[in-house]
Structures are given as structure tokens and as C-alpha cells.
Amino acid sequence: MTDYNMVPYEPADIVIHVQGRGTVLREKSLIAVQASDNKIVAFGTDAQRMTEKNMEDIMVLSPLHQGMIADYLAARELFLCLFRKALGKKPIIKPPVAVCVPKGMTSVDKKAMEDAVIYVGASELLLSDVPMEEFIREFPDKFPKLYRKFKITIGITKDEPERYMEERMRELLAYAEGLQIPAERVYTLWNEISAAGENKLI
């Protein structure tokens, strides 16, 4: 039995785009796990639907956190399932894959993402922190040779960006609390660095 280190909710979709076919898959970055034995029973949007069934023995979790891998074993199983679903019964054999990832990834985060995508069958990986729509739009003109090579793009999209902002702000407040800095002082500091009195927290 595997103990997974996942988070309850991740406001992100996993999108797979194939040149000549467009977007072939958009699924929630979720996994449904059977609590009794930690067996994965559903992936993506199918896992999300299981929350509506009120099944006591099923936990719907995400192996991603802020678009980055929080649980490597669960993430690679999620990617493997969605990759196979996107490419069908006869997938491209070991294709080079481009992956659009969140900005600010550490070298450890990047290595985890590389390992997970190579595990699903990619022969080579290109990581970009450019948003997926922009990447697909500009990639052919800016990097034509790479465009001809990397025909599959995987994106982790932030469809609910305010959820990410709220999560980061809560982390900041928790960090400040650990340093015994009151929340009111955090608000004051934020307002002091806001340009011309704009973008104030309060």
C-alpha cells in the first residue's frame, strides 16, 4: 500500500495539445483514492465526478500543488493515464514533449516534472514557463526547428488564478506568524511597497 502525499484541491487543469489536432485533452489534475487501501480508482474529471457521489471510502486529491508536483508517484500515474487517454490506443512512440510549467519552479521541481513526463513515454522534454496559449501561438515563429520536433505540448493551466493568489497570501501570513509578525504589519508593509498607493490590501 502506497501512502500518497497529495493536497485536497488543485485549481488547475492538465491540457494536452497535438500539432495538427489541437487540444485533445483537458482534465482536472485530480485522483480518486480508495481510503481503505490507497488504491487509485479514477483520474482527472472522472475523479472530480466522484465527489458528487458522497462515497465515504473515496478521497479526491491532487498530486500537484500550485501547478508543481507534490507527490511524484501519484503524479506520474495521473500523467500516464491522461497521456494514454489523449493519444489513443496507438500513441506516438516515445515522442519529444514540451511542457508549460508555472514560473518560479526550483531545480528540484523541474527534475520531478521531467522524471514524471519521461516516465509516461516521452523521449525528450522541453520545459517552458511561458503560458500554454502564448507558447503554442508563438513557438512556430520563434523556434521553427524545435516546433517541428516537439509536436506534443502539455500544459498545467491555472483556471482559477485567484485561488492561487489566496493560497500564496495565506502562506505569507503563516510565515509572518512564525516570525511573530502580526497580520496588520504585513498589510502595512504591502501597502508601503504598492506603487502610488495602488494595489493595497486594505
Angle between helices 72-87 and 107-119 (to 10 degrees): 50
In tens, the pLDDT along 133-176 reads 899 999 999 999 999 999 999 998 865 556 656 666 777 788 78
- The 3-state DSSP composition of the chain as helix, strand, coil percent (nearest 5) reads 45, 25, 35
Phi/psi zone of residue 106: left (φ > 0), alpha (ψ -120 to 50 degrees), beta? beta
Confidence grade of residue 200 (pLDDT, cut at 50, 70, 90): very low
Residues in the chain: 202
User: How crowded is residue 143: how many other Cβ atoms within 10 Å of its Cβ?
Assistant: 16
In tens, the pLDDT along 63-103 reads 888 888 988 988 999 999 998 888 876 666 789 999 998 88
Smallest CA-to-CA distance from 41 within 6, 90, 86, 77 is with: 77
